[in-house]
Amino acid sequence: ISAQIIGGAAFQAGLHDVDIAVTDENGAPAADARVAMSCQGDEGWRDAGTVGAEGSLRTHVPNTTCDFAAMAENGARASELGVAFDGPGEVSLTLQLDDAAPVVSLSVDAEAGESGWYTTAPIRVSIAATDDIDSTPAVEYSFDGEAWLPYEESIALSDEGAHTVHARATDEFGNVSDVESGEYLVDTVKPTLAATADPESRGAITVEGSDATSGLDRVEYRLGDGDEWTAVESEFDEAGTLVATLPISDAAAQVELRAFDVAGNASDIVELSWSAAEGSDGSLPSTGFAVQGLGVGLAVLLVLGGAVFFRNRVRVQLNA
């Protein structure tokens, strides 16, 4: 209830006597406490008087509903709201001195990943405030800690990037809480990835990646039809380039690649393939002559200075 007291209009005939008693937290008369009242039809609060040493005063009200408030010199306050009258009545006000500030807390309706980033949006931030006496302290929030707005409902955060929300609360006694802040990181966009194979070095790849928000984290690869993904040991440089050599055998191979950003978003999969290396099918590389085995023995040929040595029975035919 506002401590401001506004002069009220004169009452019409048919007023009732109302005795107001004001006591402190220990139940003793609260001498010199100031009393205000606001009845239906009044514009704001009006002065009802100051209680004497006995802690009481008498005022007059019509057939209506009124609110009452009292304040002591030390800042202790009391209120009684919505008191209906159709005749004489009594109102008791017990002062409470509240010098404890409210406590605020922030919560979010989503769960961040291990990196601390949220990968879905919007996320909604809720603010709660508790106070020993005031059940509904006024809550405010700010994005920069300077411009404060009244908090009415959860705050939706949709934009990519880092968001900071500050919160504070003020109780009816004017006590202001400490400012609590929460940082919320949002990245819902997957990174981009492009990869090329080095034709001069089997298994060597160059990867180009980019991520606008949380940044690139790693690249993983999967061989053939396998289910297991393996992290590439190389890291991206500042330009978003990664160079690595994958463990590709001499047989024909297909590799799938994907990139992750720091938030945990995965890129589209990129495929690279290699044809079989020369001689990888078990045949000997071409040397200008053909070897035909007689029987099942495996020919072993050593060409040294134009001479041909062989084990097992073979027939050597030079190619034209």
pLDDT tens for residues 229-284?
999 999 999 999 999 999 999 999 999 999 999 999 999 999 999 999 887 654 43
Asked if the model's pLDDT at residue 293 lies above 70, the reply is no
pLDDT tens for residues 193-238?
999 999 889 999 999 999 999 999 999 999 987 889 999 999 999 9
Asked if the model's pLDDT at residue 9 lies above 90, the reply is no
Asked if the model's pLDDT at residue 296 lies above 50, the reply is no
Averaged pLDDT for residues 285-303: 37
Averaged pLDDT for residues 296-309: 37
pLDDT tens for residues 107-150?
999 999 999 999 999 999 999 999 998 999 999 999 999 999 99
Q: What angle do CA 237, 240, 246 make, to 5 degrees?
A: 75
Q: Which domains does the chain have, with CATH numbers?
A: 16-94 (2.60.40.2070), 103-186 (2.60.40.10), 192-274 (2.60.40.10), 289-318 (no CATH)
CA dist 205 and 199 (Å) reads 9
Question: Which pLDDT value is given to residue 281?
Answer: 56
